[in-house]
A and B are shown apart, each in its own frame.
Chain A
Amino acid sequence: MVFLSIAMCLISCVDENNCGINEESDELFLQFYDIGTKKIREVVFDSVGVAFANEEVFYLDSISNTLLYVPVDVNAASTNFTFFTDSVAYDFELSYRVNVRIENEACEPVFRILGLSASSVAFDSLSIKVLELNKLVSPHVEIYF
């Protein structure tokens, strides 16, 4: 009985190390479309500004791609993004809920960004394709302009 109890305790204390297999993401994947043709368009931004709630703004320099990924603020319920071209600045605000958990003690914390909604959209149109940010689904948001 003593051996059985020790064995049960050891089994219950063992954690498997499977870091990085979670589907959850704390990065937002954006894809841009031509408002007229509805086809994917390659965009060239001089920079992208990511404004966090503590008034810190990060600028991602000179991005040229059809698919962008940008960080979201996990200390707040929203992040403001500004996309700068040589003549225009487009911005939108993404609102969400944050959930942080430690799934495995040996791994990094897992961030869930869920309940997505957009406001203050300066683009022609914006479509949110997911309920929560996920590594396996891309893009999370489609932007038309």
Chain B
Amino acid sequence: MYRPMWKFIFRATLLLTATLAQAQVIPDLVIEEEKPTFAFRSVQINYNALRLIQNSVSDSKASREFQVEVGFHERLFLTADAGFAKTNRGDTYSYQSDGTYWRTGLDINMAKNPDKGNLIGVGLRYAKAVYKDEIAYTRSFLDQNDQTITQDVALENADLSSEWIEFVFKMKVKIWKRFYTGYTMRYQFFLQLDGAESELQPLDIPGYGKTSRPNSFGFDYYIGWRIDL
């Protein structure tokens, strides 16, 4: 009489243990899947739309910039920018700076749900520009007899390069399907200028701005297309 009862208790205990064991395993597996792993997850190609606006409203500046973001971790992105910039300045003189630049670095996504592709985060960049500049100017001198002497001045730096570091704050949101938009704020510092041993002191660095500022702020607005890998 007691045998079926013991059988029932034994089977019930076994079932409960198995259920509990299963209940413990399933959450472990879920946590395991949520853990970030180092693997290529996405590639996003961005175009700097602010430069497009700048080109259309300014006769003195022309530039283009593209950016590639490679997601290799849930919250980490390898970012590379490349662009060119040409700047003309002056009414009474003609100064021109012309060259290319690139930046590369790492971004950290601090968004609550990074898996959706939205991003709010910070990053660090190493940047370098290779460029040339030149000035043309007619200088005048008035002597003590009010006689004017003029001299045409033409100077150039044919082989310039500059390096700097950037700390960036960036935001990016999904606007439609695989299309994203966002902005990047830059704080540029540790500017190093090479190749300016000639008479002309460079004024504009492509991708950086004026050399008169050892630290500079920048703002860029991007539109981009993302591919999930």
On A, residues with C-beta under 8 Å from B are 1-2, 5-6, 8-9, 11-12, 26-27, 50, 52, 58, 60-63, 65, 68-71, 73-75, 97-103, 105-106, 108-109, 111
Choose among A5, A69, A103, A109 the residue that contacts B143 (Cβ–Cβ < 8 A): A69
Q: Map CB proximity to A onto B67-105 as digits: 1 under 8 Å, 0 otherwise.
A: 000000000000000000000011111010000000000
Query: Considering the chains assembled together, what is the distance between the CA atoms of A60 and B142 in angstroms?
Result: 10
Q: Given A5-B183, A71-B151, A74-B139 in contact, is the A108-B92 Cβ separation under 8 Å?
A: yes
Instruction: Name the B residues within 8 Å of A26 (CB-CB).
Output: 139, 141
**Binding-face segment, B10-18, B30-38, B173-181, B216-224:** B216-224
- Closest 8 CB pairs between A and B? A101-B201, A71-B141, A98-B199, A9-B219, A12-B217, A8-B217, A5-B185, A60-B143
Instruction: Name the B residues within 8 Å of A11 (CB-CB).
Output: 217
Docked-complex contact A5 and B135, CB < 8 angstroms: no
Q: Given A12-B213, A63-B144 in contact, is the A100-B201 Cβ separation under 8 Å?
A: yes
- Least Cβ–Cβ distance between A56 and chain B, in angstroms: 8
How many residues in B have their beta carbons less than 8 Å from beta carbons of A? 33
Instruction: Name the A residues within 8 Å of B135 (CB-CB).
Output: 100, 102, 109
- Least Cβ–Cβ distance between B53 and chain A, in angstroms: 13
Query: Considering the chains assembled together, what is the distance between the CA atoms of A70 and B147 in angstroms?
Result: 11
Docked-complex contact B151 and A5, CB < 8 angstroms: no
Instruction: Say yes or no for B56: interface residue by CB 8 A criterion.
Output: no
Docked-complex contact B145 and A105, CB < 8 angstroms: no
Instruction: Say yes or no for B110: interface residue by CB 8 A criterion.
Output: no
On B, residues with C-beta under 8 Å from A are 89-93, 95, 135, 137, 139, 141, 143-145, 147, 149, 151, 153-155, 171, 183, 185, 199-201, 203, 209, 212-213, 216-219
Instruction: Name the B residues within 8 Å of A100 (CB-CB).
Output: 135, 153, 155, 199-201
Q: Given A99-B199, A100-B201 in contact, is the A61-B89 Cβ separation under 8 Å?
A: no
Query: Considering the chains assembled together, what is the distance between the CA atoms of A42 and B213 in angstroms?
Result: 47
Query: Considering the chains assembled together, what is the distance between the CA atoms of A138 and B48 in angstroms?
Result: 53
- Least Cβ–Cβ distance between B96 and chain A, in angstroms: 11
Docked-complex contact A27 and B217, CB < 8 angstroms: no
Docked-complex contact A101 and B203, CB < 8 angstroms: yes
Docked-complex contact B90 and A102, CB < 8 angstroms: yes
Most buried by B among A60, A62, A70, A105: A105
Instruction: Name the A residues within 8 Å of B149 (CB-CB).
Output: 50, 58, 71
Docked-complex contact B93 and A74, CB < 8 angstroms: no
